Amino acid sequence: MTDSREPVAVAIDGPAGSGKSSVSKQAARRLGYGYLDTGAAYRALAWHVLSRGAETADADVVVAATEDFDYAISLDPDRYWVRVGETDVTDAIREPRVSAAVSGVARVPEVREAVNALFRSLVAAADAPGVIVEGRDITTVVLPDAPVRILLTAAPEVRAARRSAELSGEDAGAVAAALHQRDASDAKVVDFLNAAPGVTVVDSTELDFAQTVDAVLDVVRAGTGAHRDR
């Protein structure tokens, strides 16, 4: 008899440098779940706009670009890829010019509505018992009814230090300033610093990576009944 239940959705929000991606990916591995990086969709759309020689500062141009935005992403945490049409943009969407253009895409309400619907459809169609979905406004807008909703955060100076460690050769002060600027920009669109009712806060300020993953897994298990690692 076929199990027709949809995959369990685990929603994880948090500010830049909170470790959402790495922690979510490792938690997904441990549970045998899929992993959805929602930020990649906005980055891919920004890349798509830039590849047409346009700028994301023009909202009308961004909306028009969604009409032929053929987006695909892997939900396998060990085989991660992102494509736009036939082009693999996994690495390209992490380039500085794309990072600088993402906010212009994410601030457009029509884009957010369309992309949020895409996220929900990806979760529903996933070939896995569950999917960990991480990004911004996931717990409040994208998946407000998810059985597990987590706000992963840490003190600003800790987030800046971690991000600086990831970017070898980068000036720590510049990284901290960029992190603060991104938080300020994104906060104009979504509230990712305060937990909504029913959302569990995991503060990793005093935790290392492994401890943070364990803390997230504890919340997931309590909310879904998941028992074992894969």
Binding-site residue set for ATP? 14-22
Which residues fall in the annotated binding site?
14-22
CA dist., res. 225 & res. 228, Å (int): 10
CA dist., res. 17 & res. 14, Å (int): 8
CA dist., res. 216 & res. 207, Å (int): 12
- Cβ atoms of residues 20 and 14 within 8 Å: yes
Q: Please provide the size of the chain in residues.
A: 230
CA dist., res. 69 & res. 88, Å (int): 13
Burial class (CB in 10 A: 0-12, 13-18, 19+), 124: exposed
CA dist., res. 18 & res. 155, Å (int): 9
